Amino acid sequence: MELTLVQAVNDALREEMKRDQRVVVLGEDVGKYGGVFKATDGLQAVFGNERVIDTPLNEQAIVGASIGMSLKGLVPVAEIQFIDFIHPAFDQIVSELSKMRYRSGGQYAPHVVIRAPFGAGTKGGPYHSQSSESYFVHTAGLKVVIPSSPAECKGLLTSSIRDTDPVIFMESKRLYRSVREEVPEGEYLVPLGKARNARPGKDVTILTYGSMVQVSMKAAEVMCEEDVDVEVIDIRTLMPLDIETVVASAKKTGRIVIVHEAPKTMGFGAEISALLSEKAFDYLKAPIIRVTGYDTPVPFSLEDQYSPSPERVIAAIRNTMAY
């Protein structure tokens, strides 16, 4: 069946709630209204208000309640309306959720998924457009997953719900309704911790995730006309990172362009650069180039200039090829 990414979220939640009675959904307006982006539309009518729970406007309480539910045997999937609003729950996530397994010596494993839309692309301005993935990748005990397409989204969300570790599942708002593709019906899983070679190539590697996969694929197609064969690696799972696939591609092409929406300073691209300098330095033919957002809040009126575009990625590819 052909779905948008937001429909794929709904389909994954519906399938898992049918399969496992322990799965519950909670968040602001997720029930009768179906969520601010309609990701949970219709679920309360099917599963009732004890499994699809409208919560107060309190992110700390949403995550805290999810931790408590998980410790009593439920599998909560919490929705935070925008990643920008997750900060009131930061203490619950960083100090409690991520550390519960370690703190209890493995006796308790909080089986929680926190879904949140992130990134620019919908003219949300500085309070609705942030890319906060590095905060969570830096936090030991959390898995961080970012899908790049509807099929990827369904498979990765299903795997996240079944995983016994806490997962931060970040969904690009830019992709919610801009991409439509065939999504397998019924049970469908994409493994966590395994990157995807979205486009094989031999000259340059682009390492990216989320909506920037689409941007990178467009840039790669343009470079074909200049006889530059670009490989695009969709990282998918930032933590745990599939470093083997990343290093193998770097060794094959020798040229690396990293693309993400988040600001450049201390962004996830910095970690990839460091890892490649440790594990593939002798294979690099040119310095690693990062194409990212800027070290500023996301501007409402200049959002298109803030986010990496195919043109900015193409310029980076040309630079690394000319080195």
Q: How many Å apart are CA 166 and CA 163, to the nearest integer?
A: 8
3-state helix, strand, coil in the chain (%, to 5): 40, 20, 40
DSSP class of residue 37?
T
Q: Which of 87, 111, 128, 138 is catalytic?
A: 128
Q: Answer yes or no: 260 catalytic.
A: no
Q: In what helix (H) or strand (E) does residue 167 lie, and over which residues does it extend? A: strand 167-172
Task: Tell me the sheet residues that pair with 49.
Answer: none
Residue keyed to tokens 């409690």: 96
As a whole number of Å, the end-to-end CA separation of the chain is 45
Contacts with 286 (C-beta within 8 Å, 6 or more apart), sequence order: 254, 255, 320, 321, 323
Q: How many Å apart are CA 192 and CA 165, to the nearest integer?
A: 11
CB 288 within 8 A of CB 256: yes
Task: Tell me the sheet residues that pair with 196.
Answer: 234
Give the residue from 232, 164, 233 showing the smallest Cα distance to 192: 164
Residues classed as catalytic:
128
